[in-house]
Amino acid sequence: MSDVADMTDMGDRTDLGCAAAKVRGRPRSPAADAAIIEAALRLLEEGATVDGLSIERIAREAGVGKATVYRRWPGKDALMLEVLRSLEESGPEPAGISVRDDIVTVLEFMRRRGLAKRNSALLRSVVTQMHANRELWRAYEENVIAARRASLYEVLRRGVERGEIRGDVDLELLGELFTGPMLTRAILHEWRELPEGLAERIVDTVLEGVSPRG
């Protein structure tokens, strides 16, 4: 298949899930991957919008051909998902010592993430723009946020098994009770403070209501 045909065929694919699939054929070059992502970030930092960017412009900035980009990502949305991932900091794994300590770990990561977003004009701009793209944001939720949510649910299930949380509690609702206040301050009400100790205060307040009654 020629580069042009390859580019056209892959450009027609819209399923963002394939962005996470293993690439068939010759091995991908990590250097080319990094150059493409860095080029997209550089253009965004210089004021380009997500909607205004094109694969052609990103490829030119990265010093590669368009076919090189399309061999890695089926389209711009898939590439932008990878760009958003590149801005993500890997969260710490809950140690499994106690449900309180584990959830504090999760919420403290969210607090620091919120502070980082406020302090980074690039991160704030990219997240805001991508949030406006429903398909792209849905892919981000499925590929990034869902894994964090699953980790939180595992902590809560472990808390029920250990008797730290009542067994009659809806764990999905409980997860929202823990994360909701932090997300509200970090995303919806960015003027609100995110002080140290906020994670502990939220966790202790919620746990008080769902701990087994003596």
Q: Are residues 79 and 124 in the same domain?
A: no
Q: Are residues 69 and 109 in the same domain?
A: no
Q: Among 86, 111, 136, identify where a domain stops.
A: 86
Judge if pTM exceeds 0.75: no
94 falls within a domain: no
Q: Among 30, 52, 86, identify where a domain stops.
A: 86
Closest CA to 190 of 200, 198, 182: 182
- 86, burial (CB in 10 Å: exposed 0-12, middle 13-18, buried 19+): middle
Per-residue pLDDT of the chain (214 residues; tens, 9 = 90+): 334 333 333 343 344 554 444 444 445 678 899 999 999 999 988 888 888 899 999 999 999 999 999 999 999 989 998 988 888 777 788 888 899 999 999 999 999 988 888 777 777 788 778 778 888 888 888 888 888 899 999 999 999 999 999 999 999 999 999 999 998 888 777 778 899 999 999 999 999 999 887 6
Q: Are residues 77 and 121 in the same domain?
A: no
- 182, burial (CB in 10 Å: exposed 0-12, middle 13-18, buried 19+): buried
